[in-house]
Structure 1
Amino acid sequence: MSQPATRTSRIVAQYRRYLDASDSLEFFRTVNESYTVETLLTLLRRGDHESRRASALALSMVGDVRAAEALGHRLCDRDRGVRLMADDAFRAILVRDAAPSHHQNLLQVMHLNDGGEFAAALTPAMVLVQQAPRYAEAHHQLAIAYLGLQEYASADCAFRNCLWQCRFHYLAWSGLADCRRAFGDQREALKHLHRAIAICPDFESARIQARAIRRSLNRNPPTH
């Protein structure tokens, strides 16, 4: 068996070839033949910055739900390239973490939500979470539909169900903040945004929202 250093240098070499040629199919083929998910997770945790980038990219292609937490930790990696690769992999794994039919149904719901067709997305999203109750992204998309329909209590519940399945889902933390703001609870919204930013420091829209809430709270301090 190859020593860790050898395996690390090999994946870095494959990663560099991928950057030069942009041949994702070749990178996928070589990674799939040479590495297990467990080995990639070890490199993600312990490798240098190039190894961490390469393993995050590989996990975006071959990883499964076992990688979600490790990738969640890397969303705040000290290296920005690792953070970006980890974010792409994290989202990819959340979307495909289901049976093929459920995955296809999720993509349909996501398309409707992305187009602002929240009423049309609601029923298939509800069916999907009933069929696949551990599918974190299904709960997230259901929450988005509820939020778009201004059904804030139901959205709040669905965002929390998403986070119960995946605590690193920073978009769900941001969604909870939207619900809290709709309820007039600015301080709780700010806490949720801070949680999202702690998970993903590059989440700029959450930073903008947090600054706006802090300014509002400073202008209107609570009275006793």
Structure 2
Amino acid sequence: MTTPLVRTTRLTIAYRRYLTSANSPEFAAEVDQYYSPATLASLLHRGDVEMRRAAALSLGMLGDRFSIDALGHALSDPDRGVRLASDDSFRALLVRDAAPRHHQQLLQVMHLNDGGECAAALAPAMILVDHARRYSEAHHQLAICWQGLENYRQAEVSYRACLWHCRYHYLAWQGFARCRMMDRDYGGAIAALRRCLDICPDVENARVQIRVLQRRLRQSDV
């Protein structure tokens, strides 16, 4: 009995070469020669594990705004390697999903927010949202500004806007849950955190938050 022939795709060959060399430009150029973002998105869902990992990695380099949903869906892939690669690519595309000048403005806002300078980040974040209303990450960063300034009502509005443009933005679901917690809507916070985990099961601190909130609900019922 003969062994069935296993066909190795160009994508898989390029991925194996990348794992050895870590040469990202070479990998991207090789994949770009044969695969469109739409094809990579399709392979991300119907390929074997190795191919799905390769497709997730490729989309972070070659994908466009239409690749974000495919990567968001893959955040709950059964394989952890696919989930991790999808998460990296998902976040990269969220940041790049705008014109270059808006991208640079977002990076400035993110830098300020990361440094806890939410007051300084607020004005440029509001300007960015006004100029690029469909830019989901801009809404997310504006929500972080409002939350850092303890204006939870405005933060919730911005988180909702972010999720309107990107329903897979699990960090926005987690931020939205924090706003519900501040309003003592523990049931609403738990629902948002469960949505976060449905999208990305690896957010372990969301599970911890759910257990804390469930205890608070039980105590409030006593």
Is the pair's TM-score, using the shorter chain for normalization, greater than 0.5?
A: yes
Is 1:16–2:16 an aligned residue pair?
yes
Q: Which amino acid aligns with 1:113?
A: N
TM-score normalised to structure 2 length? 0.95
Q: CA deviation at 1:148?
A: 0.4
Q: Which amino acid aligns with 2:93?
A: I
Quote the Cα distance in structure 2 between the aligned partners of 1:61 and 1:113. 25
Equivalent runs, 1:32-71 vs 2, <5 Å = 32-71=32-71
Aligned match of 1:102: 102
Instruction: Give the Cα separation in 2 of the matches to 1:114 and 1:157.
Output: 21
Q: What corresponds to 1:88 in structure 2? A: 88
CA distance in 2, matches of 1:104, 1:128: 10
The 4+ residue runs of structure 1 with deviation greater than 6 A are none
CA distance in 1, matches of 2:23, 2:182: 46
* Bigger mean CA deviation after superposition, 148-157 or 29-38: 29-38
Distance 2:218 2:23 in 1: 51
CA distance in 2, matches of 1:25, 1:68: 21
Residues matched between the structures, number: 217
In the alignment, the residues of structure 2 paired with residue 140 and residue 148 of structure 1 have an alpha-carbon distance, to the nearest angstrom, of: 12
Alpha-carbon distance between aligned partners in 1 of 2:156 and 2:139, rounded to the nearest angstrom: 11
User: What residue is the counterpart of 1:204 in the other structure?
Assistant: 204
How far apart are residue 211 of structure 1 and its match? 1.4
The 2-side partners of 1:176 and 1:189 are apart by 7
- The AA in structure 1 aligned to 2:145 is A
1:213 corresponds to which residue?
213
Letter in 2 for 1:181: M
Worse-matched range after superposition: 19-28 or 96-105:
19-28
3-state SS of paired residue (2:9): helix
Q: SS of the counterpart of 1:134?
A: coil
Equivalent residue of 1:220, what SS?
helix
- Structure 2: gaps (5+ residues): 1-5
- Counterpart residue identity of residue 211, structure 1: R
Residue 49 of structure 1: how far off its partner (Å): 0.8
Q: CA deviation at 1:215?
A: 2.0
Q: Where does structure 1 lack aligned partners over 5 or more consecutive residues?
A: none
Percent identity between matched residues is 56
Within 2, Cα distance between the matches of 1:42 and 1:53? Answer: 12
Query: Aligned partners of 2:208 and 2:113: how far apart in 1?
Result: 23
Separation of aligned partners in 2, 1:18 and 1:219: 53
Q: Counterpart in 2 of 1:31?
A: 31
Which residues in structure 2 correspond to 1:116-195 (within 5 Å)?
116-195=116-195
State the Cα deviation string for residues 59-115 of structure 1 (Å, max 9, x = none).
000101101111111100011101111111111111000000000000000000000
C-alpha RMSD over aligned residues: 1.2
Q: Tell me, in whole angstroms, the C-alpha distance in 2 between the residues paired with 1:169 and 1:10.
A: 31
How far, CA to CA, are the matches of 1:138 and 1:45 in structure 2? 28
* TM-score under structure 1 length normalisation: 0.94
2:3 counterpart residue number: none
1:178 deviates by: 0.5
Shift of 1:219: 2.8
Distance 1:121 1:33 in 2: 40
SS in 1 for 2:206: helix
Higher mean Cα deviation, 35-44 or 119-128? 35-44
